[in-house]
Amino acid sequence: MSNVAVIGSQWGDEGKGKIVDWLSSRADVVVRFQGGHNAGHTLVIDGNEYKLNLLPSGVVRQGKISMIGNGVVISPWALLKEIATIKEKGVKITPENFVIAENANLILPVHQALDAALEMTRGEGKLGTTKRGIGPAYEDKVARRGIRVCDLRHPEILKEKISKMMFHHNILLAGMGADTMDANETYDKLMEIAGDILHYAGVVWRDLDRARTEGKKILFEGAQGTMLDVDHGTYPYVTSSNTVAAQAAIGSGMGVDAVKYVLGITKAYTTRVGTGPFPTEQDNEIGQFLGEKGKEFGTVTGRKRRCGWFDAVMVRQAVRVNGIHGISLTKLDVLDGLEEIKICVGYRLNGEEIDYYPASQVDQAAVEPIYETMDGWSESTYGARSWAELPAAAVKYVRHIEELIGAPVSMLSTSPERDDTILMRDPFVD
């Protein structure tokens, strides 16, 4: 059996929640390895809807162990609120089935204040941050002034570290005309919930190593998408962490050989939240059709997503960068009823054709998509659970995507319901 990493191959919102939930029924351990509560997964199980931001999708499954790895930045208040909300729906969360890495960094109120203030200063050049403090928390982590879960065990050291952090950040806040933060108030707030967080704290890397030694199946759950990766995405319109498959090992504390299968979650069209380049965006009736039918609103922010045609160039690049073995194609049913469907098969930049997404933000904004046009289908694909139930034109569309991106479709999702999935290959089986 193989351990599996689930990665978004576009700009996030590809439908990872459902697929991770589907896979978690086959896994023993599910671990989040990057991002924060700016990510959002929506699960629909037996008609019940669960919205998760920090908790791994495995928590809603009995008999599974869920973990938050060291690569995640954690808002302790947001996490405790999410735990309480999920418990109200009858889900049991205990230290036996949920563990937080003791070396994970915390998001504090000052990080949210900085996030909001910095975004305001950018004016028309806003990055589209969720203002939840993710970026500033990662900055503190790299600058070695961050507060970690394990620091909550040592009040005196915690107080000293917070004081030093506030001295640094208050200068910046004051310079931007924003309210400064009180170090003692932050310390008191943390101490109030320290015991609740430490209740779940553990040595995640060691627990994962033991699970691997015992032959248990581990599912690595990614957040956001490849094109939001801080190195490989549409920089600077990206998130503040690495979202690619290699981060699964780093952000959980496992060896690089731990991940045996990389599954790229890929929407049958393309969406993006917030600002930044989007070559295939359709700011027209097609985009409106996709947005309304696909219910394209952010799980976390509620913001309307920008919609456009499938970008095979971008997904092909994600396949290479992540080492994707197969994709899970989602939301095929949203395309039902279109007379024709376009696929971006290349870019034109300054009069020349290129077959990759350039790194420069100037070039990214300037590329023009080169399209192929395919026949659409009028029949419904919603809820299909076998190839035989799909219209011939839909099958042709899926097969052509495989050819263009250089990776097979391992799973095909046809509705938000967990069982409305056509399986070509079980990623957990070598």
Active site residue ranges? 13, 41
Q: How far apart are the first and last CA of the chain?
A: 6
Structure tokens at 401: 């995507």
287: its two tokens: 């985009």
Which H or E element spans position 272?
strand 270-272
Residues 34 and 291 sit within 8 Å (Cβ to Cβ):
no
From the CB of residue 371, how many other CB atoms can be counted at a distance below 10 Å?
A: 15
- What is the radius of gyration, based on Cα positions, of the chain? 22
**Contact (Cβ atoms closer than 8 angstroms) between residue 221 and residue 3:** no
Q: Residue 30 class from Cβ within 10 Å (0-12 exposed, 13-18 middle, 19+ buried)?
A: buried
Is residue 279 within 8 A of residue 344, CB to CB? The reply is yes
**Omega into 236 within 30° of 0, i.e. cis?**
yes
CB 344 within 8 Å of CB 353 = no
Measured distance CA(276)–CA(286) in Å, rounded: 20
Question: Is the distance from CB of 217 to CB of 31 less than 8 angstroms?
Answer: no
